[in-house]
Amino acid sequence: MSDYSLKPGKPSICAIMPAYNEERSIGSVLQVLMAADFLSEIIVVDDGSQDLTAAIVRAMAEKDRRIRLLQHGTNLGKGQAVFNAWAATTAPYLILLDADLHALKPAHLAELVSPILDRRADMTLGLFWGGHIETDLSHWATPFLTGQRGLRSEMLRYVSRDAAAGYGFEIALTIAAHQQAYRVRRVTLRGVWHPPSEAHRGGLDGLAWRGHMYGQILRAWYIATRDRYPSARAFFSSILKS
């Protein structure tokens, strides 16, 4: 859909956004969420930030009562941030977003959740296209790692907390959806992008961090699939066919 047509009110839709040291981008992302009248709640989880992330969220919450801030005293990881936000809402539908998105529009949020509301899918994977070639390629090469999703909130019951630790949340969620036979649909988020994950660190530190991240992703795959898939190849073949 090129324009968003969802209306305020029922059904209840909660946007969840984990954030860690995102003072440069979180304000602009929240402005987009505030413009999406069909959202019932907007929960930001400050995961132990050491910058002005929480202060920016508090200031914007004064302008929009839908915005709620949850704070972790230390960095607990994206998975725990999402689980804590889920525990704080009763909304049956969720939109999960990264806090460093660029060129996001309310229409993109509607595109993520509309297939869920229309019963065409149980979870959507939001994939970048036409923003930056680097993030476009990584999204389409590994769609199961995207942080932009729409889903039925009940799906989080089936996600392994152990597998979701660290940087394993997205793959743990994807695996849970396939194990429970939930319908997964890809959605193109045209023009949207975010900086490469290691851009926050730069240089050799960034490369080392990326290696650490992929190590945790492989750990998550192993924990979540060891009883069902005998090999990584079998798992990735199954989800790439969806």
At 38-69, the pLDDT tens digits run 999 999 999 999 999 999 999 999 999 999 99
Kindly tell me if the per-residue pLDDT of 211 is higher than 60. Answer: no
DSSP-derived pairing of the beta strands 93-96 and 149-152: antiparallel
Give alpha helix (H) positions in the chain: 26-35, 53-61, 78-87, 106-117, 133-141, 169-179, 203-225, 232-240
- Other CB atoms within a 10 A radius of the CB of residue 2 amount to 6
- Catalogue all structural domains in the chain, each as residue range(s) with its CATH number: 13-240 (3.90.550.10)
Kindly tell me if the per-residue pLDDT of 31 is higher than 80. Answer: yes
Helix (H, G, I), strand (E, B) or coil at 172: helix
Q: What is the mean pLDDT of residues 195-201?
A: 62
How far apart, in whole angstroms, are the C-alpha atoms of residue 31 and residue 44?
Answer: 13
Higher per-residue confidence, 240 vs 121: 121
Distances (CA, A) of 40 to 34, 115, 128, 147, 169: 10, 18, 25, 20, 24
Kindly tell me if the per-residue pLDDT of 37 is higher than 80. Answer: yes
Q: What is the mean pLDDT of residues 74-99?
A: 96
Q: Record the pTM.
A: 0.84
For residues 191 and 130, the answer to whether their CB atoms sit within 8 Å is: yes
DSSP-derived pairing of the beta strands 67-72 and 149-152: unpaired
Q: What is the mean pLDDT of the chain?
A: 86
Q: What is the mean pLDDT of residues 93-113?
A: 97
Q: Is the peptide bond before 106 cis (omega within 30 degrees of 0)?
A: no
